[in-house]
Structure 1
Amino acid sequence: MRSIVIGFVAGAAVLQNQATLPSSTLLALLIALAILSALRSRSVQRKAVRIPLLASCGAIAGFAWAGLFAQHYLGNALPGDWEGRDITVVGTIDSLPYRFDQGVRFNFAVERILAADDAAPVVPPRLALSWYSAFHGEDLQGVGDVQPGERWQLTVRLRRPHGNANPDGFDYEVWLLEQNLRATGYVRPDRRSSLKNERLDAFVPRFGNAVERCRAWLRDRILAALPGKEYAGVIVALVIGDQRAINQSDWKVFNRTGIGHLVSISGLHITMIAGLFAAAAFALWRRSFFTQAQLPLILPAQKFAALVGAATALLYVLLAGFGVPAQRTLYMLSVVAAALWLGRITSVSHVLCAALGIVVLLDPWAVLWPGFWLSFGAVAIILYASTGRGYAPTSGLTTKEKLLATLASASRTQYVVTLGLVPLTMLLFGQISLISPLANAIAIPLVSFLVTPLALAGSVLPAPLANWVLGFAHLLVDWLAQALQWMSAFPAAVWAAPIPPWWAFLAALIGTLWLLAPVGWPARWLGIVGLFPIFLNKAAHPSEGEMWVTAFDVGQGMALLVETPHRRLLYDTGPAYSTESDGGNRVILPYLKARGITSLDLVIVSHTDNDHSGGALSILDELEVASVSSSLPSGHAVVTRARNHQRCEAGQSWSWDDIRFEMLHPTADSYEVARLKPNARSCTLKITIGMHAILLPGDIEAGQEAELLDKDREQLRASVLLAPHHGSGTSSTARFLQAVQPDIALFQVGYRNRYHHPKAEVFARYGEMGIKRIRSDDSGAITLRFGPALDVREYRTDHARYWYER
């Protein structure tokens, strides 16, 4: 069974890396073939032959099963011709709503469609919707007080799933696919439709609706008991698994100290609560609830306790939103309970594999997320390291000796998990929390045995008792957070390196397994040699005579990383998406950290517009930035935060590694002209390497293009042009393009952006002049490698996945 499950998971993982999906017929035939082959393989007597055969059958079945799953979900897509059109739908609020400053987000289960005309749109069964109080600067009607399980009539404008596509970034599109959310959109205001946005029913009785309504009720009680408290979001996360109210600054501390796994409903919490209820049920059942019913004669107390424990785990996992760590724990506890009921002794490895197989069977996309591998990897490494190590009996020991034995066991487990997950953590995140063992030694007992039980009890107790209990739980979290902030401030709290190549990861994995091998394994200390490749891994950089430029997919905005052999420059920083999310922390920083880049020599912020400067503060907070150049006013937050700042002015120039950098615009005099828009002062940079050059003009428009033409037309010649102002109708004049004569034009634009960039006539103008056009909304991140030749790579092509197909 174990070999089949491991093969099944491997097959599902292979499927998730495919550019296209096989046909449904072929996938169904593969499943049938796998089942027949597995039945025949079980009769093979030689273990060395049978196990690989069974694993192969499992891999074929996993590949085909994941493919059929994907085919089914992809079939619910919104037709392209219904993007951007108003549709009135009736359905239910299908998730826990998330309220933010501008409105509310929620999932919506469509029941029927009320089209305003004779057309019959095809709408996916589940939608991800936002309802804004204001949209694009326009005041709209008030946002409805939506609650889980309510039936609403809403007029919505939808689009197909689309997310930013960048190396080492979060893949929003596959996350939507996993949730079966095949369209996103927003609620339209009433005044634009004859059909009102209104609540039709207060509650639609369904199991899922009841669960989500309970989660909402618990969240509201907690927030009401802790008004304005800084860590109320942590208490909510521990009770119902909703982490969205935790501040990004707190997440930074939790991740640096390695205790992020505790700030949710973790497997440890579920096991503890299930164990407490099972123990109480066992004691009460043995005593027949203090009656004369003699209940143990009807059903053994162990079986009743197992049933109660499994039911408690299920309830808690439902409250948790069914995350992978919670699922893993639920399935493991369920397998143990089933084995007890059936009178069959089962090994821990069988239990783990059973849970692993069930998770991937129900959710083949689980293999794409770090939590899946860390969750199962932690349990697997503990099992591996404990092989051959007996547990010393504690009978006859004093209380002090028992306590010391318990501490020794807990310390060894923490050591095993910390060391055992080093290769996987480096592969997934490119960093390790060195302070994690100490932080977890404090946080695990505090959160698991005090904060979580108090939070659960306080969420259901009547007021004012609930307020006191939740207040004490919050006080403990506050004390813990202060300690963690102190720990995370240590310069050596986190060790970072580039994400290792596959061979370095494999060497580190073998070395770790060697170090943690069972007692009696020879020269275990030699395993440290396997870790050398990841510890010595250095950030890649261009060779002499080369330059790399990465144009990030930040949506409607600009952000480009320029790398020479020994220097790095960031031109613009993308937009701010919300108060805590921007192009810097969501796109640029994950990429830089994965590459092992911890400093920048220069950041240029072309002008004040949000889509260019929105991510700058996140960059300055996280990285060592030697200098900032911009056209920003002196009081701007980016200017005051920068270590060194200078205005960008025409005539500035410098050389890095024999590569020429020239600032062409704005002129020094333009800063004195108050009537100029920020676009008119965009820092325009030309970079020349050998026979090639790239021109980065920011958001200059026709007037500034004319100024540059009048000043020095020949100076504009470049092989690559970043389309001015995203290809707007006020830029990219024919005269300007004729002077630049680019071979390639980059358009950094958002999918279906509200400005309709690039304008159709401007985009056509580039094509008519024979210029190759590359759009970030179609191609994702774009990488240019300048050298003797110019190499262009598009992320959605090089990293093609079946869910990118349109």
Structure 2
Amino acid sequence: MRTTDPGRLLLPLAAFALGIALGRSWPGAGAWALAAGIGGGAELAALARGFGPADRRLPAAAAAVLLFTALGQAAWNHRLDTLRAASADLVALSARPGRHVLTGQVLRAPVATEDGVLALVAVAALHDPAGDRPLHGRLALAVRGLAPEDLEPGAWIRFACRLKPIRNHRAPGAFDRENRWATRDVRVAGFVDHPLRLLRAAAPAPSGAISRARLRLERTRARLLGALRARLPQPARGLAVAMTLGEKAELEPAVREAFARTGIGHLLAVSGLHLAMVALFAGGGLAWCLRRSRWCLEHLHLRKTATAAALAAAAAYAGLAGFSPSALRALLMVGAFGTALLADRPQAPLNALALAGWGLLLLDPCYLFDVSFQLSFAAVFFLVLAAPLLGGAGGDADETPGWFRRRARACVLVTLVATAATAPLVAWHFQRFSPLGLAANLAAVPVVGGLVLPALLLAALLWPVAPGAAALAWKGLAPVLSAVAALVERAAALPGAAAWIPRPGILPVTAYAALLAAGLVALGRGARRRGAISLAGALLLAAGWAAGAPNPAGRDLVLHVLDVGQGTSQVVELPGGKVVVVDGGGRRGTAYDMGARVVAPFLRTLGRTRIDVLVASHPEADHVGGLPALVEQFDVGEIWANGDRSRDETWRLLMEAAAARKVPVRVWRRPGRVTLGGAEVEVLPAGGCSRRGGRNARSLVLRVQAGPASLLLPGDIDRRREACLVESGLPPADILVMPHHGSRSASSPAFLARVRPRVAVCSAGWRNAFGHPAPEVLARYRRAGIPVLRTDRNGTVTARWDGTAWTVTGSPPGPFFRAEAADQGAERVASTAPASAASSTSGVIRVAPIPSESTK
């Protein structure tokens, strides 16, 4: 029986996805989408009436691409509007400081965090002195001091929390938190700092926010999680929970990192392998039972009955796994094949994949930007293209001679194709390359996928009906899982097991994917020469980004003040290719690694593989918290410090990392100058001023001069240290990073009069608890005529000197807060003679208007 041409589903899907991507990156293009949709539809209608079949193909394809691209953009805009409308109440409430008393219902089984739990809550009401009123929206609620068992899915709770919108760190390469939570219809996070600020208001019950079926599913998931936690020690518990339910919160950080380094992190996600096994167990088990009944053999269609049972089991298991993108993709593909069997209509694998893609993107266009969605679809798509090669490698299982060799070749080929398919996405999202990946997958997949995973899934299926047998199975699996974790950690520790690489550009990634697809298709059709040429081109592209290009040798002086929240991190690109990183951001009292999550990806996005100088201005967590990760992930030439010591954990980790990597640490006690590339870096330690202030005041101050252009990076100095610098004859500077995040204790009038910056940049956290930058300090800059950009409102700020003028720009906000952000802009500060040590007053300065919000 004929099947649908895969191109009829794949081409519109690709155009639809393109439209979604354009809608996210090109906001406000609704009129274009409407015009394209009308034009595409009209062209299709005209083609249907005016041309013959042979003449219609190319124009019809072009019209279809135009039409579905417009539909994709319209779908994205609609999703954005519905998400904003659903969360508008909570976003508005989050603008009010202080705690808010809310009532809501727990929607999913909570997961453990470092100091409590994280739960998804549907808010129903707000309680304040003015009275109770309905309030709607979903909330990511973190509760300190609770265990996951303390919050049951479906339970109604009342709690006092602080609210904060979920916002990305606006630095290229940083993790997209906004999109991750948008797939759960969440834009706001709540924080309960003590378990006594939360009470249980009512028992679990179905509601408008959670159906009876979903409630049963979530309660089963919660109980299964509890059973695994109670019966398995770490690290076996983390692996069992991840492999069974796709929940990675229980994994020990070292184990999770080891799986990522060795390229086998996909084993920790619920995927097609999991659902196929569950479907096989359920359908095969039912078929075995039905064959024992003569009545069933006479009255039932065994294959269709077993298929229906397999589909139901797969759907239930996908729900237990939280309906993650990879689980949904696998479920939709299994559903497409199963439905085709029930309808006696064969289904091509590419059609099933396309149907899964359509289902997910129509359900939520945000899935397109989910990493697991991209990795899952890329792997399956290229494996389908390689199916003719895999069939030849696998041979017939009944042909005993050479059977094992053919199966081994097929296994190697599957691993090669899957690794090659996901390599550019791994490089794009994680800037990683694992030379050990092929060998690790060949060793781990048969053991984990063929033995451990089936045993875990069978135990999970047994648990509702025979908990004793399931507990016995988990007990037997515990040493096996612990051994797997130990072996993976040992493999990850091997030299060269993994490498950090620069983030490739979108064009090389696209070209690589096209060449890989063309090569696999050509080889599958027997065109070996053409296929080999295409694959060789893809391999060369991959080798180019995996080897890591040298640091780009630009001629410009560039300062990046990164959006790292309430902290500071500055990247200075010097003429000639040298790079200096001053501080690495950080958060007090949290395991969130700002260096690994924000600063390091940003540097690799710039194409940087080496840090020539890493500066720790002073040992405070909000400045040095991210530095240990930079020492571990980059080739660091030297560390500069001010000589202060600290008992802070991050400072100890920094010194240990420097010792392990044999990075020299230079302590500055006297002023000095160092020539780096085409710039001169002046280092100003506290010296005799150290008695006038605390640790902040003893920050290393850096002044960078490249020709007539200059920067001043003062750390967290206060007014007393500023006075010392003024007394010492500090030269003016074009760009000033505001001292101490714009605190009231700094930016004295005398200091500003001495430095006379063209532009000032404030590094501060959005709605931070310290009130930085202080309103009176901003007013002082405004009175002095100094434009101010802020990382809390403008994102990462980049100041670029091109030899004639400074261009200072912010970073765009995430798509989910773009409508609320009216503080974007770029300033062009032109000067015929910029302030320098020799001349600070000559020349004419032209400053474009600054958005009013940036100096409020």
Distance 2:788 2:646 in 1: 37
Q: Deviations over 1:12-33 (max 9, x none)?
A: 222222233638xx97898788
Q: So what's the TM-score if we normalise by structure 2?
A: 0.85
Deviation, structure 1 residue 767? 1.4
Distance 2:108 2:316 in 1: 17
* Cα distance change on mapping 1:481 and 1:767 into 2, 3 Å: same
Deviation, structure 1 residue 467? 4.4
Q: SS state of the match for residue 150, structure 2?
A: coil
Deviation, structure 1 residue 243? 0.6
- Asked if 1:532 corresponds to 2:532, the answer is no
Deviation, structure 1 residue 687? 1.0
Of 164, 169, 172, 1:167 maps to 172
Residue 756 of structure 1: aligned partner: 771
Deviation, structure 1 residue 430? 3.5
- Asked if 1:113 corresponds to 2:120, the answer is no
> 1:100-179 alignment to 2 at 5 Å?
100-117=113-130, 123-133=135-145, 145-179=150-184
Q: Deviations over 1:666-701 (max 9, x none)?
A: 11683xx5x952112111111111111111111111
Aligned partner letter, 1:342: A
Q: SS state of the match for residue 536, structure 1?
A: helix
Aligned partner letter, 2:664: N
Deviation, structure 1 residue 352? 1.2
Deviation, structure 1 residue 530? 4.6
Distance 1:495 1:155 in 2: 45
Distance 1:60 1:776 in 2: 34
Q: SS state of the match for residue 817, structure 2?
A: helix
Residue 205 of structure 2: aligned partner: 204
Distance 1:41 1:552 in 2: 52
Residue 136 of structure 1: aligned partner: none
> 1:478-517 alignment to 2 at 5 Å?
478-516=482-520, 517=522
- Asked if 1:472 corresponds to 2:472, the answer is no
* Cα distance change on mapping 1:35 and 1:276 into 2, 3 Å: farther
- Asked if 1:322 corresponds to 2:323, the answer is yes
Residue 651 of structure 1: aligned partner: 671
Residue 262 of structure 1: aligned partner: 267
Aligned partner letter, 1:73: L
Contact kept, 8 Å, 2:153 with 2:219, in 1: the verdict is yes
Distance 2:623 2:110 in 1: 31
- Asked if 1:804 corresponds to 2:818, the answer is yes
Residue 45 of structure 1: aligned partner: 53
Deviation, structure 1 residue 742? 0.6
Of 696, 701, 705, 1:688 maps to 705
Distance 2:724 2:790 in 1: 27
Contact kept, 8 Å, 1:9 with 1:62, in 2: the verdict is yes
Aligned partner letter, 2:200: R
* Cα distance change on mapping 1:650 and 1:19 into 2, 3 Å: farther
Distance 1:116 1:786 in 2: 54
Aligned partner letter, 2:124: E
Aligned partner letter, 2:595: G
Residue 73 of structure 1: aligned partner: 83
Contact kept, 8 Å, 1:511 with 1:531, in 2: the verdict is no
- Asked if 1:408 corresponds to 2:421, the answer is no
- Asked if 1:575 corresponds to 2:583, the answer is no
Q: Deviations over 1:685-732 (max 9, x none)?
A: 1111111111111111111111111222xx241111111110011111
Q: Deviations over 1:222-262 (max 9, x none)?
A: 111124x2242121111221111223332322122111111
Residue 618 of structure 2: aligned partner: 607
Contact kept, 8 Å, 2:99 with 2:163, in 1: the verdict is yes
Q: SS state of the match for residue 633, structure 1?
A: coil
* Cα distance change on mapping 1:739 and 1:487 into 2, 3 Å: same
Deviation, structure 1 residue 79? 5.1
Contact kept, 8 Å, 1:500 with 1:534, in 2: the verdict is no
Contact kept, 8 Å, 2:586 with 2:626, in 1: the verdict is yes
Judge which range, 612-621 or 255-264, deviates more: 612-621
- Asked if 1:186 corresponds to 2:191, the answer is yes
Contact kept, 8 Å, 2:168 with 2:814, in 1: the verdict is no
Aligned partner letter, 1:354: L
> 1:226-265 alignment to 2 at 5 Å?
226-227=232-233, 229-265=234-270
Contact kept, 8 Å, 1:659 with 1:687, in 2: the verdict is yes
Aligned partner letter, 1:158: L
Deviation, structure 1 residue 221? 1.0
Q: SS state of the match for residue 560, structure 2?
A: strand
Q: SS state of the match for residue 773, structure 2?
A: coil
Contact kept, 8 Å, 1:557 with 1:611, in 2: the verdict is yes
Of 676, 689, 695, 1:678 maps to 695
- Asked if 1:708 corresponds to 2:719, the answer is no
* Cα distance change on mapping 1:414 and 1:299 into 2, 3 Å: same
* Cα distance change on mapping 1:80 and 1:716 into 2, 3 Å: farther
Contact kept, 8 Å, 1:779 with 1:795, in 2: the verdict is yes
* Cα distance change on mapping 1:802 and 1:225 into 2, 3 Å: closer
Q: So what's the TM-score if we normalise by structure 1?
A: 0.90
User: Equivalent pairs: percent with the same residue?
Assistant: 26
Contact kept, 8 Å, 1:607 with 1:678, in 2: the verdict is yes
Contact kept, 8 Å, 2:733 with 2:756, in 1: the verdict is yes
Aligned partner letter, 1:649: R
Distance 1:298 1:42 in 2: 48
Deviation, structure 1 residue 103? 2.9
Residue 216 of structure 1: aligned partner: 222
Judge which range, 152-161 or 495-504, deviates more: 495-504
* Cα distance change on mapping 1:664 and 1:795 into 2, 3 Å: same
Distance 2:445 2:142 in 1: 36
Distance 1:758 1:130 in 2: 27
Q: SS state of the match for residue 804, structure 1?
A: coil
Aligned partner letter, 1:112: A
Contact kept, 8 Å, 2:325 with 2:372, in 1: the verdict is yes
Deviation, structure 1 residue 351? 1.1
Residue 721 of structure 1: aligned partner: 736
Aligned partner letter, 2:13: V
Distance 1:113 1:579 in 2: 29
Distance 2:622 2:475 in 1: 41
> 1:253-402 alignment to 2 at 5 Å?
253-288=258-293, 292=294, 294-387=295-388, 391=392, 394=396, 396-398=398-400, 401-402=402-403
Aligned partner letter, 1:71: D
Q: SS state of the match for residue 357, structure 2?
A: helix
Aligned partner letter, 1:12: I
Distance 2:382 2:413 in 1: 12
Deviation, structure 1 residue 315? 1.2
Contact kept, 8 Å, 1:84 with 1:159, in 2: the verdict is no
* Cα distance change on mapping 1:634 and 1:723 into 2, 3 Å: closer
Of 9, 12, 18, 2:26 maps to 18
Contact kept, 8 Å, 1:782 with 1:793, in 2: the verdict is yes
Contact kept, 8 Å, 1:628 with 1:644, in 2: the verdict is yes
Q: Deviations over 1:345-381 (max 9, x none)?
A: 2211211111111011111011112322221111111
Q: SS state of the match for residue 199, structure 1?
A: strand
Distance 2:272 2:629 in 1: 33
Distance 2:259 2:378 in 1: 20
Q: SS state of the match for residue 182, structure 1?
A: strand
> 1:437-476 alignment to 2 at 5 Å?
437-459=438-460, 461=463, 465-476=469-480
Contact kept, 8 Å, 1:696 with 1:722, in 2: the verdict is yes
* Cα distance change on mapping 1:498 and 1:791 into 2, 3 Å: farther
Deviation, structure 1 residue 395? 6.0
Contact kept, 8 Å, 2:107 with 2:154, in 1: the verdict is yes
* Residue-pair matches, total: 780
Residue 551 of structure 1: aligned partner: 561
Distance 2:398 2:170 in 1: 61
Judge which range, 447-456 or 605-614, deviates more: 447-456
Deviation, structure 1 residue 212? 2.3
Deviation, structure 1 residue 148? 1.9
Deviation, structure 1 residue 655? 0.6
Instruction: Note the aligned Cα RMSD (angstroms).
Output: 3.0
Aligned partner letter, 1:105: L
Q: SS state of the match for residue 695, structure 1?
A: strand
Deviation, structure 1 residue 424? 4.1
Judge which range, 485-494 or 753-762, deviates more: 485-494
Judge which range, 785-794 or 30-39, deviates more: 30-39
Contact kept, 8 Å, 2:173 with 2:429, in 1: the verdict is no
Q: SS state of the match for residue 728, structure 2?
A: helix
Contact kept, 8 Å, 2:167 with 2:814, in 1: the verdict is no
